[in-house]
Amino acid sequence: MVTLAQEPEEDSLAIVSYADKFVFKINWDTQTDTYSLKNSQDGSKLSITPNNNYRLSLSLDYQFLGLSIGFSPTFFSGNNDDELKGESSFSDFRFRSALGQWIQGFQIRTIQGYYVENTIDFFPDWKEGVDPYLQIPDLKSQLWGMSTSYVFNPNFSFRNILYQTEWQKKSAGSFIPTLYYSYGRLSYELAGQRAEENTFPVRLALAYYYTLVLHKNWFLNANLSPSLGVRFTKSSLTENGVRTYEKITGFTRTLEGGLQLGYASKKFIFGVGFSFDVKAYKEDKFNAVVNDKLYGNIYFGYRLNTPPFIDRTYNKLAKKLGL
């Protein structure tokens, strides 16, 4: 008598894959790019931030590929007080691929238009809510970044936390080292000066993630990620037609982490959480930059059956490429 092998029951699996579905998601968060420059000689401080307190991103994932587009809509009240804080623009494009236990990410982000949060330190008679902040409208920050991660535990789903293309059914955790490497450019024109800073930071994050399955459809994830890196900087300043250059190499320290409460089903996904991100590095021998963030986010998503012609096309391509 021959017994035919059967597919395991879905509830018996540690991870259920929905890679063959279209996963649409909308994410709302309060992340901002605030920088504080502290001078060790005179104790002065300069804090700058863009005028976009709330951001939205739309994402689509299918099989091992994903794409997301982020922007800052003006219909949020925290993004449209241009009279006091000036105009800011924000765009964020992310592309990702997940093959086995490897995760590769790509990002292009542009922010323009900042204001000085501590304007009162420079103008003692300044009144909050009445007088406009000191603004730097031409200050532009650009980032071209990449990251490479490896998930050590195959029974832990990193994709359940990041992209929701999988569903973690059983509690598990994993050590996930991630290498970040990027190119950044910061430029502005102010009072006849033009400054430009080009940076090449590289850092290794030793992250640990754990997902606790609370109920059939609910999970709680916690993560902590300390990292160390090196930052290569080349800056230039043009004043009165004279251009000067400076090169600096320094170490960076970063601590990231967060909590996420999520809901998952065959079709619907939902999550709410908060994250923190603490960065510090030397700008030069007298100035240090501190970039502390504490922000929340909410996401909603839906898993949709993929049109048959897309599945057929993917399967033919995957067979040729041996995926």
pLDDT, tens digit (0-9, with 9 covering 90-100), for 257-284: 999 999 999 999 999 999 988 887 766 6
Taking the C-alpha atoms of residue 111 and residue 50, their distance in angstroms, rounded to an integer, is: 8
Q: What percent of the chain has pLDDT over 90?
A: 44
**80 within 8 A of 53, measured Cβ to Cβ:** no
pTM: 0.85
Length of the chain: 323
Instruction: List the domain boundaries for the chain.
Output: 10-321
Structure tokens, 59: 């994402």
pLDDT in tens, 145-202: 999 999 999 999 999 998 899 999 999 999 999 999 999 998 887 767 788 889 999 9
Those residues with Cβ within 8 angstroms of residue 63's Cβ, 6 or more apart along the chain or in another chain: 19, 20, 314, 318
Q: DSSP string of 53-104?
A: --EEEEEEEETTEEEEEEE--TTSGGG--HHHH---EEEEEEEEEEETTEEE
Residue 157: HSE in the Cβ half-sphere, 13 Å Cα cutoff: 25
Beta-strand pair 193-213/218-239: antiparallel
Structure tokens, 208: 């640990």
**277 within 8 A of 11, measured Cβ to Cβ:** no
DSSP for residue 240: T
**Arithmetic mean of pLDDT over the chain:** 86
* CA 29 from centroid of its chain's CA atoms: 10
Structure tokens, 155: 């029974």
**pLDDT of the residue at 136:** 87
Taking the C-alpha atoms of residue 124 and residue 116, their distance in angstroms, rounded to an integer, is: 14
**pLDDT of the residue at 286:** 60
Structure tokens, 275: 């994250």
Q: Which residue has the tokens 């993004």?
A: 79
Q: Which residue has the tokens 């430009």?
A: 196
Class of domain 10-321: mainly beta
**234 within 8 A of 198, measured Cβ to Cβ:** yes
Our CA angle for 246, 247, 252, nearest 5°, is 130
Those residues with Cβ within 8 angstroms of residue 262's Cβ, 6 or more apart along the chain or in another chain: 160, 161, 218, 219, 220, 221, 269, 270, 271, 272, 273
pLDDT in tens, 131-154: 899 888 888 999 999 999 999 999
Taking the C-alpha atoms of residue 65 and residue 57, their distance in angstroms, rounded to an integer, is: 17
Structure tokens, 69: 């587009």
> Which is more confident, 317 or 120?
120
Q: Which residue has the tokens 């964020």?
A: 92
